[in-house]
Amino acid sequence: MLRTSYIINNKEEVIKNLKKRNFNAEDLVSEIVSLDEKRKLIQIEYEALLAEVNTISKEIGELFKSGNKEEVPKLKERSLEIKNTTKTLSDDLNTVKADIENILHQIPNIPHESVPIGKSSEENIVIEELKVNKHNDKKLPHWELAKKYNFIDFETGTKISGSGFPVYKGKGAKLQRALISYFLDYNINNGYEEVQVPYLVNEDSAFGTGQLPDKEGQMYSIESDNLYLIPTAEVPITNIFRNEIIDQLDLPIMKTGYSPCFRREAGSYGSHVRGLNRLHQFDKVEIVRIEHPEKSYEALVKMRDEIKKLIQNLELPYRILSLCGGDLGFTSALTYDFEIYSPAQDKWLEVSSVSNFESFQANRLKLRYKDVNGKTNLAHTLNGSSLALPRVLASIIENFQTDKGILIPKVLHKYTGFSIIN
């Protein structure tokens, strides 16, 4: 969430920069400016009346001390009149503040200056791409291979829960567990502390990281308890630090965690959702960093390089994209997407997004750090998928298929205990 003071002090810049997202903020910014002026006027009147009440209280005390009590009833009457007025003003002030807050919730983060202009994913910029052997007709899609070697059961998952909930079994289940363990160990070796977090979060947590109100329709909710199933471990991990003030000397904070992820994916139909391409429940390992603002973009590059090396270790063909303004997530200032190639489908599959949210999430979370002078400032938050499993698994299955079975990437052998699925 952008700060009111920043918007008011940088009106034209905010409007201009948000146009890169194809977002017209002019009316919303004007409304915030108008409401804040109203807030100031109410605040001035409110504080003046409170000061008058304090003065009256002192006067009454002095009158009692002097024994001159004739003016006391009149002063008490005025004091009561002021208190009634301040109650009304306080209600008005809260209403105006709530109105400003509601508008702020509608305004996305300002894109970083390096974000390319564009309206959709078609205009994302490829910044690195590994050459691949495309149009290989001999490659079978992963859903056929899963059925052939009997290690993923889509039909039984549909029977149990519905489409988008596969059952992994035998070596398929072992490979899933191996990937999770490898990703976590890799991140821990890079300095991240592992955490295990709840898979259900409350409304404050979902708001803090920007899922509410932007992505409410994509989340599974438990209305009787006002809880939400997490769409990513980013939500509970980042919310560990909600309403916290961190000592600058403790930065950066680096966390990694595994969780299942739950997404309704409403409106998703067609061939692009077949097999493991798009699921309602899937596993993912996440990395989260809390950074000093001056170091957050350096940290973003480190995260990008860590994820790239992780994919390289799996020996998978990949490419990295810088998301254009029109494809940028609501809370992000800059995002890099990682995609790996599916030879049987002849398309790229997204397996990770790594983003810098700058202070946007931190402002919602009230996540601050105390600098060496004792002043508190908003921290910067970053996160990345490291990695999302379904499409990684799909790519492994398709890229490593042979006439004898599906080979397992060497880096996973010590985790699986086998080198081939046949």
**68-74 mean pLDDT:** 83
* C-beta of residue 187 within 8 angstroms of C-beta of residue 307: no
> What tens digit of pLDDT does each residue of 216-237 get?
889 999 999 999 999 999 999 9
Residue bearing tokens 């409170």: 50
Mean of the per-residue pLDDT values for the chain? 95
3-state secondary structure of 276: coil
> What tens digit of pLDDT does each residue of 120-149 get?
999 999 999 988 876 556 899 999 999 999
In total, the chain counts a number of residues equal to 422
- The rounded percent of the chain whose pLDDT value lies above 70 is 97
* C-beta of residue 182 within 8 angstroms of C-beta of residue 411: yes
Residue 243, Ramachandran bin (φ over 0: left; ψ between -120 and 50: alpha; else beta): left
Q: Closest Cα to residue 7, out of 118, 27, 96, 41?
A: 27
* C-beta of residue 413 within 8 angstroms of C-beta of residue 376: no
Pairing type for strands 405-407 and 420-421 reads antiparallel
DSSP bridge partners of 261: 282
DSSP bridge partners of 342: 347
Q: Closest Cα to residue 384, out of 350, 421, 412, 353?
A: 353
Angle between helices 171-189 and 389-399 (to 10 degrees): 110
| DSSP designation for 329 | -
Q: Closest Cα to residue 262, out of 355, 142, 164?
A: 164
DSSP bridge partners of 352: 338
Q: Which CATH architecture group holds 4-104?
A: Orthogonal Bundle (1.10)
The whole-number pLDDT of residue 70 equals 80
Sheet of 376-378: strand order equals 245-247, 368-370, 376-378
Q: Closest Cα to residue 60, out of 47, 48, 76, 49?
A: 76
**CATH ID of 121-421, from 3.30.930.10, 3.40.50.20, 3.10.580.10, 3.40.50.1980:** 3.30.930.10
Using CA atoms, how far apart are residues 369 and 360, in angstroms rounded to an integer? 15
**322-351 mean pLDDT:** 97
Residue bearing tokens 């990395």: 287
Report in angstroms the alpha-carbon separations of 399 from 214, 266, 310, 318, 411.
36, 30, 16, 12, 15
The whole-number pLDDT of residue 138 equals 80
Using CA atoms, how far apart are residues 197 and 284, in angstroms rounded to an integer? 13
27, amino acid identity: D
Using CA atoms, how far apart are residues 241 and 281, in angstroms rounded to an integer? 26
Max Cα distance, the chain (Å): 106
The whole-number pLDDT of residue 389 equals 98
Report domain extents, the chain.
Answer: 4-104, 121-421
> What tens digit of pLDDT does each residue of 257-284 get?
999 999 998 655 555 679 999 999 999 9
